[in-house]
Every structure is written in structure tokens, then in C-alpha cells.
């Protein structure tokens, strides 16, 4: 019996177009993008083009795109790097009970380091409302991370509404947009977020790739000291 695959929310097959591009670049553009020779320069041009293309889709700036190994790493790097860059009096992070496990891993690790963490619950419809979020805010809140859409229920959170509340208080806003990117319109400006995570294998691309968008105004610091790849992230 042929397998009928319906689990596209978990992962998609690689499209013919994506596979073709991946194969061609693997053969023709194999240099280290940090190297000074021609092969490295060619690879760097491809990376720059990729940043520009992705930034255009998200309505953001190319320099704010940082490539990663996937959604899990994107979430962890975004959350921990942002908290790492915030001052001591802004060491409180809020997230929800319905996030991807990688977000919970990220905040649990921060909690062990002394960062205050609050986990909020959605209402009966699965929505994080402005009122629910407002009740959890503290003077020391520095970051809020709320997914754009849930991978199991498909519920889309009203990020733009929540963003207005956070901007009034100068609180940074991260979203895990892994489930919505490529399936619906995802705009940094329209959502009102400061940082955003995406993954390749949800949108017919090869596994093992993803990205973080970090707004130029976000004062992040790397969790790995002295790194140089992806501008230090």
C-alpha cells in the first residue's frame, strides 16, 4: 500500500526546484564564505543574495537575517541572545504554555541562570489576549516570546495587538513563526515583532536550515563568546 503523507505541519518533502538549486550550489559554490579567494567570494555573494531575498519576503533588512540550522536553534539563539544583551534590571521573560519545546528549553536554561520566567496560559479559545499578557508584565520584563501559530491547533495569535502593548513599555517581542512562514503573509512590521524565527523544512526546502530575524535595534549579545560566523550570532 502506498503511504499517504498528511503530516505537512511537521515537515514537508523537498521540492524539485529547491533540490535542483541545492544540488547546483553544492557543486558550483562550495567555498567558505569567509575565505578571501574567488570561491569564498562567490559563496559570500550567494549568502548576501539569500539574505536580501529573505528580508524582502519578511519586509525587513538583509543585515538583520542570521542563518541557523533550523527552527529549534533559531528560537534558542534568539531568546537567549536577547536576554544576554539586556541590562540587569530587564531580566524577566514571558512566554506561553503552548510554545514549541525549544522555547521552553531556552527559557528553562535562562531560569537556571537566575532569569525570572513567567509562563502564561491562553484563554478557552487558545488565544493570548492583551489582558492576559498585561497581567503578567512586570517593571523588569525585558522580553516576551509568543508563537505566531500553533503547530497542533493552527491557532494564530494576535501578535500585532500584543505588540502595541509591549512597545508602550519598551519590551522586546520575539515570535516563533516556523509554522506560518511561507504559508501566509508574515511581515516584521505588520506583526510588530523585534525578532522572528523560521525554518526551511516546513516550506519544501532541505532540512537543516533556518533563520533568525533580529531587528537592528535589538541589543543582543552572543551566547557563544568570540564567535564570528553569522556576524557573531
Are the C-beta atoms of 9 and 197 separated by less than 8 Å? no
Claim: this prediction has a pTM higher than 0.75:
yes
Residue 204 three-state SS: coil
pLDDT in tens, the chain (233 residues): 788 999 999 999 999 999 999 999 999 999 999 899 999 999 999 999 999 999 999 999 999 999 999 999 999 999 999 999 999 999 999 999 999 999 999 999 999 999 999 999 999 999 999 999 999 999 999 999 999 999 999 999 999 999 999 999 999 999 999 999 999 999 999 999 999 999 999 999 999 999 999 999 999 999 988 888 899 89
- Domain range list for the chain: 62-225
What's the pLDDT score for residue 182?
94
CA separation, residue 72 to residues 88, 103, 211 (Å): 26, 8, 10
Q: Edge-to-edge strands of the sheet including 92-96?
A: 65-68, 210-214, 195-199, 172-176, 141-145, 92-96, 116-120
Q: How, if at all, do strands 92-96 and 141-145 pair?
A: parallel
Domain range 62-225, its CATH number among 3.40.640.10, 3.30.413.10, 3.40.50.300, 1.10.240.10: 3.40.640.10
User: How many CB atoms neighbour CB 14 within 10 A?
Assistant: 16
Q: What's the pLDDT at 25?
A: 93
List Cβ neighbours of 200 (8 Å cut-off, separation of 6 or more). 70, 206, 207, 208, 209, 210
Please check whether residue 70 is in contact with residue 209, taking contact to mean a CB–CB distance below 8 angstroms. Answer: yes
Give the cell for residue 68: 541557523
- For residues 64 and 216, is the Cβ–Cβ distance under 8 A? yes
Query: E strand or H helix at 172, and its extent?
Result: strand 172-176
Alpha-helical runs (H) found in the chain: 16-28, 38-58, 71-85, 101-112, 130-136, 159-168, 188-191
Amino acid at each position: 500500500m502506498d503511504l499517504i503523507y498528511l503530516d505537512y505541519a511537521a515537515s514537508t518533502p523537498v521540492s524539485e526546484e529547491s533540490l535542483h538549486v541545492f544540488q547546483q550550489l553544492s557543486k558550483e559554490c562550495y567555498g567558505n564564505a569567509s575565505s578571501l579567494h574567488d570561491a569564498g567570494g562567490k559563496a559570500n555573494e550567494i549568502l548576501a543574495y539569500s539574505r536580501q531575498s529573505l528580508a524582502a519576503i519578511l519586509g525587513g533588512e538583509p543585515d538583520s537575517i542570521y542563518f541557523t540550522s533550523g527552527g529549534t536553534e533559531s528560537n534558542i539563539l534568539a531568546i537567549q541572545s536577547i536576554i544576554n544583551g539586556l541590562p540587569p534590571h530587564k531580566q524577566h521573560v514571558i512566554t506561553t504554555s503552548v510554545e514549541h519545546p525549544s522555547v521552553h528549553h531556552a527559557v528553562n536554561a535562562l531560569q537556571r541562570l537566575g532569569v525570572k520566567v513567567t509562563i502564561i496560559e491562553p484563554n478557552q479559545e487558545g488565544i493570548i489576549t492583551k489582558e492576559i499578557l498585561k497581567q503578567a508584565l512586570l517593571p523588569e520584563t525585558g522580553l516576551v516570546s509568543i508563537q505566531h501559530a500553533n503547530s497542533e491547533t493552527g491557532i494564530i495569535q494576535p501578535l500585532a495587538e500584543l505588540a502595541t502593548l509591549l512597545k508602550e513599555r519598551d519590551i522586546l517581542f520575539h515570535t516563533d513563526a516556523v509554522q506560518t512562514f511561507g504559508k501566509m503573509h508574515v511581515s516584521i512590521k505588520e506583526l510588530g515583532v523585534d525578532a522572528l524565527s523560521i525554518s526551511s523544512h516546513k516550506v519544501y526546502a532541505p532540512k537543516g536550515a533556518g533563520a533568525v530575524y533580529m531587528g537592528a535595534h535589538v541589543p543582543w549579545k552572543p551566547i557563544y563568546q568570540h564567535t564570528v560566523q553569522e556576524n557573531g550570532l
